[in-house]
Amino acid sequence: MAVVLAAMAAGCGAGEPPAASIDSVMVHVERQLAFGPRVPGTPARDDAARYLARTLERFGGRVSLQSFEVEDPYASRRLRLINVVGSFDPERTRRILLCAHYDSRPWADQEPDSTLWTRPIPGAVDGATGVAALLEIARLVGLASPPEIGVDVVLFDGEDYGKRGDIDHYLLGSKYFVMNLKGYRPQAAILLDMMGGRGTRVRREPFSKERAGPWLDHVFARAATLGLDYFEARDGAPMIDDHVPLLQAGIPAIDLFGYDYAAWHTLGDDLSQVDREKLSQVIVLLRDLVYDLDYPPAE
């Protein structure tokens, strides 16, 4: 798409945001997948958390780890989880929160063959792409050109830990995050999930529309202005996702969710399913939003 390629290639002239790189994004996707499935409580998850923390720190973020434990509902043990938080220009009071989950689902329970349901998914589109997009934004704001707003990147653990029908054991990291806000209130929040998957489109998620409508309208209007056809201005299905705890805490949060992903919760959710052009559009939009201060007023 010509508009995306032009936007990604644009340099950092006077008043222009710095240039983003889809190649850098793909490196971060590949690095996450190289650890193996990032299932909570496994060495691969620990390796991923260290990589994400080091990367945010290398980009100039003030990094903290939210480590916590819960009773594992499916085994006789305590399950340790780790949210990775990177704050850029932490002294600024006006802030935007960008978030995604980095854990992989422990069960490929959408495989047609039920004997495969106990295997963990690779988690390329269901986790790694959204995280990689946020790492690229972190590079821009931390190393290239700081925007006139503080940026917090939060990478949640345990989003996909629940089994089918057991909604209480999903969203573990975001639930813990909102329990420990300590007065933190960003002007707006964006959650990325299922970004850049082959066959996917981003639509207007109904919980986001109901609770953060002006912010959702603003984001989709910017996507339309930029000519980003990955973002489709019609309603999708409601999603119980990491934005829900944020909304319940009074934070205007929207879920940018890639609908219609055929490899969802299967062993096929691997690097072959990542569409570079769709993921490029996500970066273009995020970069525009972070460097454009024309946010709607908080409700």
Per-residue model confidence (pLDDT) at position 11: 38
Residue 12 in any domain: the answer is: no
Residue 12 pLDDT exceeds 50? no
Give per-residue pLDDT as tens, 159-180.
999 998 899 999 999 999 999 9
- pLDDT tier at 17 (50, 70, 90 boundaries)? confident
Residue 7 pLDDT exceeds 80? no
> What average pLDDT does range 11-38 have in this prediction?
86
Residue 215 in any domain: the answer is: yes
Residue 113 in any domain: the answer is: yes
Give per-residue pLDDT as tens, 274-294.
999 999 999 999 999 999 867
Alpha-carbon gap, residue 263 to 134, rounded angstroms: 22
Percent helix / strand / coil, the chain, rounded to 5: 40, 20, 40
Residue 109 in any domain: the answer is: yes
Residue 8 pLDDT exceeds 50? no
Q: Considering the entire predicted model, what is its pTM?
A: 0.94
For the chain, the straight-line distance linking the first and the last C-alpha, in angstroms and rounded, comes to: 35
State the DSSP H helix or E strand holding residue 226, giving kind and residue range, or none if neither. Answer: none
Q: Say if residues 186 and 249 touch (Cβ distance below 8 Å).
A: no
Alpha-carbon gap, residue 232 to 220, rounded angstroms: 8
Give per-residue pLDDT as tens, 118-151.
999 999 999 999 999 999 999 999 998 999 999 9
Q: Which residues contact 42 (CB under 8 A, 6 or more apart)?
A: 36
Domain count for the chain: 1
Residue 38 in any domain: the answer is: yes
Residue 4 in any domain: the answer is: no
Residue 2 pLDDT exceeds 70? no
Q: Which residues contact 119 (CB under 8 A, 6 or more apart)?
A: 107, 108, 111, 267
Domain harbouring 168, CATH code: 3.40.630.10
| Domain, as residue range, for 154 | 18-291
